[in-house]
Each structure stands twice: as C-alpha cells, then as structure tokens.
Amino acid sequence: MSSKPTVLFVCVHNAGRSQMAAGWLRHLASNTVEVRSAGSEPADHINPVAVEAMREVGIDITSQSPAKLTWDTAEASDVIITMGCGDACPVFPGKRYEDWKLTDPAGQPLDVVRQVRDDIRVQVQKLVDTLRT
C-alpha cells in the first residue's frame, strides 16, 4: 500500500451500506485515505433513510451518488470491502479483502438503519486502526 491507501466499499446498489461506510471512513480517517464506493447494480439514488441516519451523527452523504463497480476502480484499490455483492465483485491477487456481514438497510425503518449505521462505524474504526499500523 502507498502512504495513502485506497479503500473501496462495494455492495449491490451502492445506496446504503457502502455509502454509509464511505461516509464513516471519510469522517474517521480524514484525508489520510482515498475513499471509493460502488455497486454491482447501482440504484438511482442513495437510500434516504441511510442519509437521515448519517445526518443524525453529523455526516452528510447527500453529495454522493451510486456508482457502477468497474474493473479499473477495483484494480486501483488497495483494500476492497464487500457487503453482499456476491460473485459480482472482482478478485485481484495482492489486494486486501474483507467481507462485512451487515443487514441491508433497503426498505428498513430508521431504527434498523441506525443499528446498521452503528455496526458499520465499529467496522470502519477497526479498519482505520489497521490502516494506521
């Protein structure tokens, strides 16, 4: 990894989990990490309940948009975190991979999405700690 690692968060729609994870990483790691997120089948917009849950903790993800996972984006990333994208996620030798088992916030009420948000924060903090060592 370079002095500024690149982390890619991937889920199916790139509208909830991966966007919240990217928001947390930007918040917790500041500008020490390049943050990307993508989806194997991106939605048209970010899940508004995920936006609200993140807003509650002072993180604004409204400037982000779901993006299509591309080979180039994955290849250029040092760490790839998957969240239920299945076989659509490419595998590259030498990359660090983690698969986070998280509830999909799609169609869930705010109280469930808050729990997902908090679970993601714990995972992202662990990630930040390992990137700094």
pLDDT tens string 2-12: 579 999 999 99
User: Does the active-site annotation cover 11?
Assistant: yes
Nearest Cα residue to 68 out of 110, 109, 102, 38: 38
What does the pLDDT look like over 78-106, one tens digit per residue? 999 999 766 566 677 788 999 999 999 99
* pLDDT tens, residue by residue, 20-75: 999 999 999 988 999 999 998 999 999 999 999 999 999 999 999 999 999 899 89
**CA nearest 65: which of 22, 24, 96, 95?**
22
Kindly name the residue from 11, 15, 33, 54 that is annotated as catalytic.
11
The gap from C-alpha 52 to its chain's centroid, in whole angstroms, comes to 16
Nearest Cα to Cα of residue 4 among 26, 41, 32, 25? 32
Establish whether 89 is a catalytic residue.
Answer: yes
Kindly indicate the confidence band of residue 1, based on its pLDDT and cuts at 50, 70 and 90.
Answer: very low
